[in-house]
Structure 1
Amino acid sequence: MNTQKDWFTSWFDTPYYHILYKHRDDSDAELFMENITKELQLKNTSEILDIPCGKGRHAVYLNTLGYKVVGADLSSNSINFAKQFENEVLKFEVWDMRTPFNQKFDAIFNLFTSFGYFEDDQEDISILKNFKKGLKENGILVMDFLNVSYVKEHLIEKEIKTVEGIDFHITRKIENGFIIKEIHFFADDENHSYIEKVKYLDKDKFVNYFENAGFNINQVFGSYQLEDFDPSSSKRLIFVLS
């Protein structure tokens, strides 16, 4: 099994990752982008960084709303795919969020639980510091994470998902401060094993992170409809920070 520290560098760059998650609902992503940009009253002249952007579904839709957008991701395969959508005000590039940015933005979006990958808290905090430095004066960071309390109460420990003829055997557990998903399958004449691993970050832990990185919390939401956050029932934990 691929259990090295940077598990995401291999799994996110495989075609199988995108096969497994091909049924993600774009309408949810689009609804969230519409709601949050209205809530933030982002002007059409705003420059937004979407990181990590995957294949660009949020970035592309933000661009259709009139914003100048940069999508960045560590996966070269994802960025190569996203580049087909580029135009004068939508660009994609390979970028590791552990590396400081070379320009500043009106808003940075960190979406769909794309944080908390590292054992050492300081590595996560250092990413937040990069985000802070990458914002213009009065810039906004939007962080969209899962609600770990909800995940814990509704954890499906084992399941099989069949997508494009591939049986993905998935197990989940919460262990040593992480939510861990193991994925095993047979495809292209060989067995594959990957892992997804994100830190068990509740609201209090995030507050500590944000204080260390110099962020203020402006708003906290519990859904893409921007409902108030409820620790027991909300599926998402969404922060608006400055």
Structure 2
Amino acid sequence: MIKQQSNWFTTWFNTPYYHILYKDRDYNEAGVFMTNITNYLNFPENANILDLACGRGRHSLYLSKLGYHVTGADLSEDSIAFAKKFENEQLQFKVHDMTMPFGKTFDGVFNLFTSFGYFDDEADNVKTLEAIKKNLNENGFAVMDFMNADVVIPNLIASETKVMDGIEFKIERYFENGFIYKDISFQHDKKDYNFTERVRAFNLGDFEEMFEKLDIYLLDVFGDYQLNKYYKNKSERLIMIFK
């Protein structure tokens, strides 16, 4: 059996199977969210935005189409290599560790689709927030789009099977020791594979505590991509605006 090594995201995100399993993500939804959030933040014309943990760049691409100068950054060399096919004067992609400052500042730093809380070492979550703060210019805003753990945990689908491109992915989900786990197993070309996604189930209170320690100011909280009010026990997402 071929099994990932620690950290899980450095291997799983760099496999073609990750992109096969998640190939049906909603690109229209991503576009609606980017339009709504940039209208709300009222960025200056030609603003510079960092899409941190951008994956293959679906949000970056929409942001650039809205007229912004966008840098997509991700640790996955495979994802960045794919995204670079879409580069132009307003859109660039870089391999980058989000726990480290980028080296320049931006009008906006976006961390989207629950791309936080992956680390084995809790200190790396703090380093990431510190880096986001350093990546912002004086008038900049950060946007973090995270799962609403208070809704996700009691509604976990414990077991399911998805067939994508002829591959049968068996998925098991569970909550343990503050983390949400997703075990993914499948067979391809007569080889068995197993990967496990693991995300810290931070809630709003956890973020507020971290923000206070880091002198980060939480400005607003939304509960979905239409920017409706956040409700702990029913909102789809936990979307935080801070600086």
- Pairing 1:124–2:125 present: yes
1:92-113 deviations in whole A, cap 9, x for unaligned?
Answer: 0111101221111110000000
**Any idea what SS the aligned residue of 1:159 has?**
strand
Question: Which residue number corresponds to residue 100 of structure 2?
Answer: 99
State how many pairs are aligned.
Answer: 242
Question: Which residue number corresponds to residue 61 of structure 2?
Answer: 60
**Any idea what SS the aligned residue of 2:238 has?**
strand
Question: Which residue number corresponds to residue 50 of structure 1?
Answer: 51
Higher mean displacement: 58-67 or 150-159: 150-159
**Structure 2 unaligned spans of 5+:** none
Could you tell me whether the CA contact under 8 Å between 2:4 and 2:11 is conserved in 1? no
Q: How does 1:128-143 map to 2 (within 5 A)?
A: 128-143=129-144
- Pairing 1:27–2:28 present: yes
Could you tell me whether the CA contact under 8 Å between 2:116 and 2:146 is conserved in 1? yes
Could you tell me whether the CA contact under 8 Å between 1:132 and 1:213 is conserved in 2? no
Question: Which residue number corresponds to residue 241 of structure 2?
Answer: 240
**Any idea what SS the aligned residue of 1:171 has?**
strand
Could you tell me whether the CA contact under 8 Å between 1:126 and 1:213 is conserved in 2? no
Q: How many angstroms apart in 2 are the aligned matches of 1:76 and 1:226?
A: 32
- Pairing 1:40–2:11 present: no
**Any idea what SS the aligned residue of 1:211 has?**
helix
Q: Which amino acid aligns with 2:192?
A: N
Q: How does 1:9-20 map to 2 (within 5 A)?
A: 9-20=10-21
1:86-143 deviations in whole A, cap 9, x for unaligned?
Answer: 1111100111101221111110000000000124332201110011011100210000
1:14-46 deviations in whole A, cap 9, x for unaligned?
Answer: 000000000000011000000000000012221
Question: Which residue number corresponds to residue 200 of structure 2?
Answer: 199
1:211, CA displacement in angstroms? 1.5
Question: Which residue number corresponds to residue 109 of structure 2?
Answer: 108
Q: CA RMSD in A?
A: 1.1
Task: State the 4+ residue runs in structure 1 displaced beyond 3 angstroms.
Answer: 1-5
Could you tell me whether the CA contact under 8 Å between 1:150 and 1:235 is conserved in 2? yes
Could you tell me whether the CA contact under 8 Å between 1:110 and 1:143 is conserved in 2? yes
Question: Which residue number corresponds to residue 220 of structure 1?
Answer: 221
Higher mean displacement: 154-163 or 95-104: 95-104
1:165-196 deviations in whole A, cap 9, x for unaligned?
Answer: 11000000000110000000001220100010
**Any idea what SS the aligned residue of 2:174 has?**
strand
Question: Which residue number corresponds to residue 156 of structure 2?
Answer: 155
**Any idea what SS the aligned residue of 2:53 has?**
coil
Q: How many angstroms apart in 2 are the aligned matches of 1:237 and 1:143?
A: 8
**Any idea what SS the aligned residue of 1:192 has?**
strand
**Any idea what SS the aligned residue of 1:92 has?**
strand
1:206, CA displacement in angstroms? 0.7
Q: How many angstroms apart in 2 are the aligned matches of 1:76 and 1:4?
A: 16
1:235, CA displacement in angstroms? 1.2
TM-score computed with the length of structure 1 as normaliser: 0.97
Could you tell me whether the CA contact under 8 Å between 1:73 and 1:94 is conserved in 2? yes
1:63-86 deviations in whole A, cap 9, x for unaligned?
Answer: 000000000111111101111111
1:2, CA displacement in angstroms? 4.2
Q: How many angstroms apart in 2 are the aligned matches of 1:157 and 1:117?
A: 20
Could you tell me whether the CA contact under 8 Å between 1:129 and 1:214 is conserved in 2? no
Could you tell me whether the CA contact under 8 Å between 1:132 and 1:214 is conserved in 2? no
Could you tell me whether the CA contact under 8 Å between 2:52 and 2:98 is conserved in 1? yes
Identical amino acids, percent of aligned pairs? 49
Question: Which residue number corresponds to residue 178 of structure 1?
Answer: 179
Q: How many angstroms apart in 2 are the aligned matches of 1:228 and 1:81?
A: 35
Could you tell me whether the CA contact under 8 Å between 2:222 and 2:228 is conserved in 1? yes
Could you tell me whether the CA contact under 8 Å between 2:4 and 2:194 is conserved in 1? no
Q: How many angstroms apart in 1 are the aligned matches of 2:190 and 2:64?
A: 40
